Structure 1
Amino acid sequence: MSPRNDIQNIKVREERKRQIMNVALEIIAENGFANASVARIAQRAKISKGLMYNYFESKEDLIINIMLDGFNQLTLSFDTNKDGVLTEEELHYFIDSSFETLKNNIHFWRMYFMVLLQPQVYEIITPYLEKTLQPFYETAINYFIDKGYEDPIAEMRFFAAMMDGVGLHFILDPDNFPLDGVKKKMHRMFK
């Protein structure tokens, strides 16, 4: 058997990192951030505690990576051509793809929101979250300016709150939440 090449090593490392993040998300959702030790996460991920530090500097670094990765998953479809200008078509594509992302991995998003809403986690992630979301906020504000909204900042915050609220309500009660109907209403609201 030949040794792995650099690309294979990177792939293995990314897969292991993803596994650790998924295990950590489960443990933090089950036990809370304060009660989720690095040792417990390493044990469930079937790696040594020392090896865990090859992937993440600390438990705080791990939670920052988990939370930012989740936000990155949701924002991939925002301004799809990444030119800094949001079109109406891109906004509506973002609505559709965000709902699909939630629907296709509800277990992950249920844990994700449970962890994000823990005060200790939110305190750690807030500075990183604000920095990560700032370009998206600016692009959305410019969109609402271009569309002639009276208060583009309030409109951007309203849109973000609507998306957050829909996501939370859907993951709490997916069997009874009328996702398609709500999605249609959001499309009508932002025409």
Structure 2
Amino acid sequence: MSPRTDTQNEKIRLERKQQIMNVALKVIADNGFSNASISRIAKEAGISKGLMYNYFESKEDLVINIMLEGFNQLTNSFDPNHDGVLTEEELHFFIDQSFQTVEQNIPFWRMYFMVLLQPDVYSIITPQLEKILTPFYKTAINYFASQGYDDPVTEVRFFAAIMDGVGLHYIMDPENFPMEGVKTKIHQLFKCK
């Protein structure tokens, strides 16, 4: 058997890293940040604690990576053609994608809300999240300004608060939350003026 190529080794490394992140996401979502030790995550991932540190410097680094990956997936659907200009169709596409993302990844959103509510943990990831969210907010502010809103900054925060609220309520009670009805109401609320 011939030795693996650099490409094969990198593929294996990325797959293992993703496996660790998936396990960590579940452990943190189920047990909370403070109860999710590196040892526990490593054990559930089927690797040694020492090997964990080959992929992530710390539990905080692991959480940062999980959060950044989740937000990158979400914000990529915000301006799908990446031209820096949001259209009404793209905003509504983002709404649909956001609902789908929440429905398909409850553990991520459970962890997200846990992190938001723990200031010491949230402060660790804030600089990295700001890098992702700043262009998102600028594009959204420009969109609401172009639609004639008097206070586009407030409108963006209102929009973000609604979307966060939907996510929070859905993950608390996914069987009974009227996702389609709420999605329809949000689409109606953000039609062009």
The TM-score normalised by the length of structure 2 is: 0.90
Q: Which amino acid aligns with 2:101?
A: T
Alpha-carbon offset, residue 115 of structure 1: 4.3
How many angstroms does 1:164 deviate by?
0.6
RMSD: 1.8
Which residue of structure 1 aligns with residue 17 of structure 2?
A: 17
Partner secondary structure for residue 83 of structure 2: coil
Rounded Cα–Cα distance in structure 1 between residues aligned with 2:116 and 2:20: 17
Determine the C-alpha separation between the residues in 1 that align with 2:32 and 2:92.
35
Displacement of 1:75 in angstroms is 1.5
Give 2:88's aligned residue: 88
Whether the aligned pair in 1 keeps the contact of 2:29 and 2:111 (CA below 8 Å) is yes
Aligned 8 A contact 2:115 2:121 in 1: yes
2:158 maps to 158
SS of match in other structure, 2:79: coil
1:78 aligns to what SS in structure 2?
A: coil
TM-score, normalised relative to structure 1: 0.91
- Match runs of 1:104-123 below 5 Å: 104-123=104-123
Q: Which piece of structure 1 moves more, 50-59 or 104-113?
A: 104-113
Structure 2 counterpart of 1:182, which letter?
A: V
Instruction: Give CA deviations for 1:61-96 in whole Å, capped at 9, x if unaligned.
Output: 111111111111221211000111111110000001
SS in 1 for 2:97: helix
Following superposition, the deviation at residue 10 of structure 1 comes to: 2.2
The separation in 2 between residues aligned to 1:175 and 1:112, in whole angstroms, is: 20
Q: Tell me the residue number matched to 1:41.
A: 41
Instruction: After superposition, give the CA deviation of every residue in 1:88-132 in whole Å (9 maximum; x if it has no partner).
Output: 110000001111111223344334433443333222222222222
Instruction: Structure 1 unaligned segments of length 5 or more: list them.
Output: none
Deviation at 1:37, TM superposition (A): 2.2
- Residue by residue over 1:23-68, the C-alpha shift from the partner in whole angstroms, topping out at 9 and shown as x without a partner, is 2222223333233222222122111222111111222111111111
What fraction of aligned residue pairs are identical, expressed as a percent?
Answer: 74
- 2:145 is the alignment partner of 1:145: yes
Cα offset, 1:9, TM superposition: 2.1
Paired with 1:167 and 1:152, the residues of 2 have a C-alpha distance of: 23
- Alignment correspondent of 1:183: 183
Q: Displaced runs of 4+ in structure 1, greater than 6 A?
A: none
Q: Is the 8 A contact 1:113 1:168 kept in 2?
A: yes
- The more displaced of 124-133 and 101-110 is 101-110
Give SS of 1:17's match: helix
- The answer to whether the 8 Å contact 1:25/1:112 transfers is no
Deviations 1:146-185 (A, max 9, x none): 1111000000000111111111111111121111111111
Number of matched residues? 191
Offset at 1:5?
2.7
